[in-house]
Amino acid sequence: MKTNLLTKALAPLALASNLVLAEDKPIIHDGEYNFLAAQHGEKWAAQDKEIDAKLAEIKKKNGDKRPNILYILIDDVSFGQMGDPKMNYVMGIKTPNLNKLSSESLNFMRMYTEPSCTPTRAAFLTGRLPVRSGIKEVKVALVGEGLPANEVTIAEVLKQAGYNTAHIGKWHQGDIEQAYPHNQGFDFAAFPLHQQVQLTVMTPESGKANNQFGYNASLRNDTFELDKKFRPFGLVTGVEATAGGKAKEVDLKPGEEWTHAHYVKMNERYQKQILEQVESLAKKDEPFFLQYWPLYPLNFVVPENPKTLNGGFMAEKLELLDTWVGELLAKLEETGEADNTIVCFMADNGLMYHYEGTSGLNQLIYRGGKTDFTEGGIRVDAFMRWPAAIKPNSYAGDIVHVSDLFTTFARLGEAKQFIPRDRIIDGIDQTSLILEGELNGRRDYVYVYQNDILRGIVKQEYKMHMPAPGMPGAAAPVFNVFRDPREEHPQIGTALWSGASFQDMAYRHMMMIKKYPHNKLGKGIPYEGIENLRPESVETVKTFMSWQPQK
Amino acid sequence: MKTNLLTKALAPLALASNLVLAEDKPIIHDGEYNFLAAQHGEKWAAQDKEIDAKLAEIKKKNGDKRPNILYILIDDVSFGQMGDPKMNYVMGIKTPNLNKLSSESLNFMRMYTEPSCTPTRAAFLTGRLPVRSGIKEVKVALVGEGLPANEVTIAEVLKQAGYNTAHIGKWHQGDIEQAYPHNQGFDFAAFPLHQQVQLTVMTPESGKANNQFGYNASLRNDTFELDKKFRPFGLVTGVEATAGGKAKEVDLKPGEEWTHAHYVKMNERYQKQILEQVESLAKKDEPFFLQYWPLYPLNFVVPENPKTLNGGFMAEKLELLDTWVGELLAKLEETGEADNTIVCFMADNGLMYHYEGTSGLNQLIYRGGKTDFTEGGIRVDAFMRWPAAIKPNSYAGDIVHVSDLFTTFARLGEAKQFIPRDRIIDGIDQTSLILEGELNGRRDYVYVYQNDILRGIVKQEYKMHMPAPGMPGAAAPVFNVFRDPREEHPQIGTALWSGASFQDMAYRHMMMIKKYPHNKLGKGIPYEGIENLRPESVETVKTFMSWQPQK
């Protein structure tokens, strides 16, 4: 009798599971999503049919053309720092173009990223938690590592479905050939090999602005210096390439020192190039997938003529970026593509708060920033505009993770069949949220990693910080992010009820890792595939290889 | 020659001063305002003529009737907690009516209050820093003190100019007869004698909700209790009165215990009464000045049916308050008074952050709350709507202090001549800001007191925390509130240039205090002028008087 009752009780669960699994080769999601699908699968399947009809209608209205996708990802800006007139006043800055974009968009009020540049970008590109592809934050010196060739990026997915693709700006996925964007699905790419520690911190001007010590030869004393290779040197700067071809470094001459002027020029070049891309891709028959990942507002030089009330050296570049986004959106209008282009704008993680105060950017609402697993590190402003389908000036309190964009863009581009079925895809298809609005999201959780360590779990309004190694789970602090956005009042006693559920969540996650083990980070010789290496770059590769273990 | 040059250079200054002083019996302002007037006096005088013409035109359009003024002041809510959809999402609350009001209003983005209830309310009522009238935070037990009779309130000023006046809700200006609102310019007043420590903390339900210990007899053990008068007892609760008459306590019967149900009833009563006031005052020929100072969101009982995402015991009341403000604004529409009524809505100071986390309200952006002199204590959301004259959905980054409303309302009500000329009035006439918008403010500073101690000076984007007693001025931390809203990164070295200017500001302030010494706090026997004192209230007065020094 008891068994019969249980079997009966479990029947709907089995049904729901079957529905999810009934798709031809379903996408493999994490345990937590499956747990939700078991609760909502029937409803979601029915809704998906309506959504397919809606998408077909939108496409028909647009002359049978699928939407373009423009994904703008900026660097190190915290939630609230853009798109809200009142918060503009708090900070003494003006972002009128972003405020306008926000008012024309669906605003994701709980967009979670990873806590740092490389991981967030990898999560978007692969639709997977970066830990699954072996990805950690890529440091500025040579690493001989990067995004593995066998990861399938959103560019590859959309490319296979017939999209034209291009990447302009920051990349930060490693210094090996297989990791370069033109080898990861982009028809064209213009990008710096490394990141802003090289490009804006390691400049003599940043030294003179007191934001960096001891790098530039002209600003230090080397009396006791035995090791002449301690400071990174000879790094490749900006390169350009087309799919399948070799990369070519632009701008810097052999022997020339990288300066702030070069950084400014690089930023201006990318802005020019993104406008050119829109112009040329708009003329083609196929839709486009375009990534613009600016390097600003990261900047470590005091502005010459600060015009912001704030005056800080990053705040000023945030205002400049606002102007540039305005230009880009105007270019979309001008080419007639605005109505059928999905513009998704967001930051990759919280501010670089190590320069809080002087940079002009501050934590504002959530505690922490880049590198932290507190909300300040992983909550960002995110707007999605698509005049043909998205309700302007709308908000969604549903949880979204940056990896969801992978799966969602794939569906919107009719490319879902190219998402690999042999690995876990963390990205949830959130098309329902985008088309049907708030309360139609399909995620209420996030696993928060710092590199390869699980540091927190977000579920609904609760967030558990994982207990320190050796500590019993009951000692793990749980926070209510609505009541306590800065995660300063841990509920250890009062949220004990949640401990078991959080532990189940961790278990569901770990079980799936056991079943689908992590991929290995790509490895190789740095700078392969660059055809015009400067002598100093050849030298730095030689230095790097000199201390690698023999194979 | 040198002298001549100096004389010449000082001439425009003298001229500007003359202009300011040329008015018939000018209002006496603080030194810092005079310093600004010397720099801008001519421009301001010219602008004032234009403004007078504009006001005359608005009045003409309104059938020659001056505007009504409805001043809604709520208790202990921090900047950003109301009126911004995005911040609503951060906190998991909904304030749609306040968001709408904000979008129809001029939003004061730098509205400064005093750090606590009594001082902020006194500053508004008198147009003066509370220290000048001897006012400090009035504690919950008997004090025999309050707002002195010889202070001139905005109600008295507007009353003299022919306004009908009424006060509904929190008052908190003392327990002596001269301090009661119906003796300070209001035709009618319904108010609690004390404040929420009595009304919502000292209840058995608050004890059971674990928000208060050891007050209620039913919830404690009195084994070692010698002093039976340690806990405040027999306090008068809500009273009502008309001008010149005696106050009458309502609701509570002799011997009855004050409970949460009484608090709820009191709040609901005030909401009902404010609607009745609008209804009856709208029918009169004269314009009205109406104060609604709700007691919510202060509340210490867990909601029975929390419907907010946030769920906290104050967050829930903030949502209720939002609904109530919606009702009140609807009533204004219904009576046909909306277009010509200045609705000013704001909080009196930052949140009671001692209950952060559990209450559901949090510091959000600025550090600190009620009682603090950091921005979290003294920056609040403030909206002013006046369809006949104020541009909707506008913002002003200019600094405003709550005392400015006194002088501004007086001008808008054509009552400026009734502002006393024998004392310092800190409130600046900000009519220019209200009619002409941002950048037309006439204040760029605030002196920040905690009770009678000057603890900080705000000037433009800078804020100095006064050095600890004995510390040299050069050690005083200075903060840039745009770059560092939480005042966490003191600029001691890098803002040394400002030290001299801040010291000059303090000196200009102190010089004027020397010339116009502070008034003395009103004194008297508690509860005089209440005609139906309960026996326990008579007893508590007797207890209080028993330990007063003989006259």
- Give the tens place of pLDDT for each residue, B119-138: 999 999 999 999 999 999 99
Question: Which of A93, A367, A483 to probe by mutation at the B interface, max B CB count within 10 Å?
Answer: A483
Number of domains in chain A: 1
d(CA B522, CA B539): 23
Residue at B370 is within a domain: yes
Q: Dihedral sign for Cα B49, B52, B54, B57, please.
A: negative
Locus of tokens 């709520």: B74
Residue at A378 is within a domain: yes
Residue B186: Cβ-neighbour burial (10 angstroms; 0-12, 13-18, 19+): buried
d(CA A534, CA B85): 53
Question: Across the interface, which of B89, B110, B363 has its CB nearest the CB of A395?
Answer: B89
Residue at A175 is within a domain: yes
pLDDT tens, position by position, A151-167? 999 999 999 999 999 99
Residue B107 and residue A86: Cβ atoms within 8 Å? Answer: yes
Question: Which of B78, B95, B307, B365 to probe by mutation at the A interface, max A CB count within 10 Å?
Answer: B365
Residue A461 and residue B358: Cβ atoms within 8 Å? Answer: no
Mean pLDDT of A233-258: 97
Q: What is the mean pLDDT of chain B?
A: 94
DSSP structural state of residue B353? G
Mean pLDDT of A78-88: 97
Distance from CA of B6 to the nearest CA of A (A): 33
Q: Which residues of B touch A482 (CB under 8 A)?
A: 90-93, 309-311, 315, 360
Residue A392 in this model has a pLDDT that exceeds 60 = yes
Residue at B29 is within a domain: no
Residue B483 and residue A311: Cβ atoms within 8 Å? Answer: yes
Question: Across the interface, which of B84, B461, B482 has its CB nearest the CB of A86?
Answer: B84
Mean pLDDT of A41-57: 97
Give residue A11's pLDDT band: very low, low, confident or very high (50, 70, 90).
low
Residue at B207 is within a domain: yes
Q: Which residues of B touch A395 (CB under 8 A)?
A: 85-86, 89
Residue A181 pLDDT: 98
Question: Across the interface, which of A79, A86, A395 has its CB nearest the CB of B109?
Answer: A86
Residues of B with CB under 8 A from a CB of A: 79-80, 83-87, 89-93, 107, 109-110, 309-312, 315, 356-365, 395, 397, 461, 480, 482-486, 488-489, 491
d(CA A425, CA B352): 45
Mean pLDDT of A265-278: 98
Give residue B10's pLDDT band: very low, low, confident or very high (50, 70, 90).
low
Residue A488 and residue B357: Cβ atoms within 8 Å? Answer: yes
Residue at A252 is within a domain: yes
Question: Across the interface, which of A109, A356, A488 has its CB nearest the CB of B86?
Answer: A109
Helix (H, G, I), strand (E, B) or coil at A399: strand
Please, are residues B124 and B73 in contact by the beta-carbon 8 Å criterion?
Answer: yes
What pairs with residue A401 in β-bridges?
A112
Structure-block tokens of residue B495: 């803002």
ipTM above 0.90, yes or no: yes
Residue B489 and residue A356: Cβ atoms within 8 Å? Answer: yes
pLDDT tens, position by position, B473-507? 888 999 999 999 999 999 877 788 898 899 999 99
d(CA A172, CA A30): 26
Structure-block tokens of residue B188: 């009618």
Residue B483 and residue A87: Cβ atoms within 8 Å? Answer: no
Range of the domain at A135: 52-215+235-451+518-543
Give the dihedral of Cα atoms A508, A510, A514, A518; nearest 10 deg: 120
d(CA A47, CA A354): 45
Please, are residues A365 and A91 in contact by the beta-carbon 8 Å criterion?
Answer: no
Residue A486 and residue B397: Cβ atoms within 8 Å? Answer: no
Q: How many CB pairs under 8 A join A and B?
A: 120
Please name which of A474, A505, A509 lies closest in space to residue A490, comparing C-alpha atoms. A474
Give residue B4's pLDDT band: very low, low, confident or very high (50, 70, 90).
low
Distance from CA of A530 to the nearest CA of B (A): 42
Residue A146 in this model has a pLDDT that exceeds 70 = yes
* CATH number of residue B317's parent domain: 3.40.720.10
Structure-block tokens of residue A346: 């967001």
Q: Quick one: what percent of chain A has pLDDT higher than 90?
A: 89
Residue B359 and residue A483: Cβ atoms within 8 Å? Answer: yes
Residue B541 in this model has a pLDDT that exceeds 80 = yes
Residue at B494 is within a domain: no
Structure-block tokens of residue B512: 């004027």
Closest residue in B to A354 (Cα) is B489
Q: Which residues of B touch A318 (CB under 8 A)?
A: none
Residue at B328 is within a domain: yes
Give residue A307's pLDDT band: very low, low, confident or very high (50, 70, 90).
confident
Residue A109 and residue B90: Cβ atoms within 8 Å? Answer: yes
B167 Cβ neighbours under 8 A, 6+ residues apart: B155, B181, B182, B186, B188, B189, B190, B191, B291, B293
Please name which of A176, A110, A206, A191 lies closest in space to residue A461, comparing C-alpha atoms. A110
Residue B549 in this model has a pLDDT that exceeds 90 = no
d(CA A383, CA B48): 44
Residue B395 and residue A315: Cβ atoms within 8 Å? Answer: no
Please, are residues A313 and A301 in contact by the beta-carbon 8 Å criterion?
Answer: yes
Question: Across the interface, which of B85, B92, B362 has its CB nearest the CB of A461?
Answer: B92
Q: Which residues of A touch B362 (CB under 8 A)?
A: 483-486
Please, are residues B288 and B276 in contact by the beta-carbon 8 Å criterion?
Answer: no
